[in-house]
Structure 1
Amino acid sequence: MATNRFIGYLESRKNLTGSACGIAGLALTFAGLAGTYWPVVVAGLYGAGALIAPPDRPSLPDFPDPSAQLEELRADFATLRAYLDGVDLPPAAAGRLTELTEVLAALLDPGWVAQVLARDPDGVHTLSRAVRQDIPEAVDTYVRTRWWTRLAPGAEPPERHLERQLTLLHQEADHLAAALRETESRRQESHTRYLEDRGHSH
């Protein structure tokens, strides 16, 4: 560990700048300008160079950009749809699920919509949570609860909860689509104002 720190210092800007200044001090010594105090001059110049050098900064973590996150989310969405195709749902819940997945598919479709979405980290998070957590959990919970209901009939039908959950998720997806549409509308209005202001300045 200590060896790594030492090697890191040797390669640092502080050491390189200090060394350059120290070499300049040696040049002054050979030119006869430093006199008998040349070690002090060289050491002083090295120290001054090390002090004025900008500090090294660690590299920023390499997180995937939003476009890469959306690409991964599309793959997970395809996996989710394959899972949903194998689940037997009652007609009302199946209809709600189809409406929801159509909105999600439109938002995740590669193209300019996805480009707008990529600029909205909260939107990406909302979609990711729906695809990777909320929808599979709602459907899986329904499947398991339905089995128990067959053993002990009379409880509230589990499909009602599933329909309500899918309705809420559909509303959330609609709100996200509306927010993205509003973002584009504001962008269009801003461009109009920019062109108007530019025209008035001439």
Structure 2
Amino acid sequence: MATSRPDGEARGRSANRVLAYVESRKNLTGSACGIVGLALTYTGLAGAYWPVVVAGLYGAGALIAPPERPPAPDFPDPSSRLDALRDDFGTLRAYLDEVELPPAAAGRLTELTELLAGLLAPGWVSQALATDPEGVHALSRAVHQDIPESVDTFVRTRWWTRIAPGTEPPERHLERQLALLYREAEALATALREAETRRQQTHTRYLEDRGHNG
């Protein structure tokens, strides 16, 4: 009884391999060439050696058939990743609206979230961002990890500071963290802008060269 399942799985795999070969290009091409051999047999051209002719043509057809090509992996489209990230960013903003922050930190957080919202807004900016995997990764890390971690750590540390004062105010760390995250997002926006600038300059040179050559 213990070997019934492995034996059944082995038979199933063997049947699948046989079925795959029956449907393969090699078998289909070889069969077509074999049919040509049978036609030669019926016309009398193959003579007494018709089995050899049919088998040889089948083998030749199987050899010349193009190899089977496994399907390429179907990865998610970059724009679909941005759609999911955009939804997660909405969830993050809803969480941030419930957190009470000092005015300075709140101002820095607003600047950061507005910049991220501009980068993720549907349109040509997000289309340009979708072609930059590193940029998408940086935004995903900011939304999923950096910002919620910074804010949540501040909330927890502030509670401890209130019952055990004397340490550095946690809002200073939060302000520095948000400033660093803003610089990262700003650098990404600058890189996207410079890429569009280079694209415009390249098109200008193309038109100039075309005009000179014409």
Question: Runs of 5+ in structure 2 lacking a partner?
Answer: 1-12
Q: Deviations over 1:89-114 (max 9, x none)?
A: 11111111100001000011111111
How high is the TM-score relative to the length of structure 2? Answer: 0.91
> Where does residue 19 of structure 1 map in the other structure?
31
1-structure distance, mates of 2:207, 2:142:
40
Of residues 172, 176, 182, the one that matches 1:164 is 176
For structure 1, which segment, 167-176 or 8-17, has the greater mean C-alpha deviation from structure 2 after superposition?
A: 8-17
> Where does residue 105 of structure 1 map in the other structure?
117
2-structure distance, mates of 1:148, 1:9:
69
1-structure distance, mates of 2:27, 2:163:
76
1-structure distance, mates of 2:24, 2:162:
70
Q: Deviations over 1:128-164 (max 9, x none)?
A: 1111111111111211222222332212222222111
> Where does residue 4 of structure 1 map in the other structure?
16
CA-based RMSD: 1.1
2:182 is aligned with 1:182:
no
2-structure distance, mates of 1:131, 1:85:
15
Q: Deviations over 1:12-53 (max 9, x none)?
A: 111111111111111111111111211111111111111111
Question: Runs of 5+ in structure 1 lacking a partner?
Answer: none
Structure 1 outlier segments of 4+, above 6 Å: none
> Where does residue 75 of structure 2 map in the other structure?
63
2:185 is aligned with 1:148:
no
2-structure distance, mates of 1:43, 1:17:
13
Q: Deviations over 1:41-78 (max 9, x none)?
A: 11111111111111111112221111111111111110
Q: Percent identity between the aligned chains? A: 77
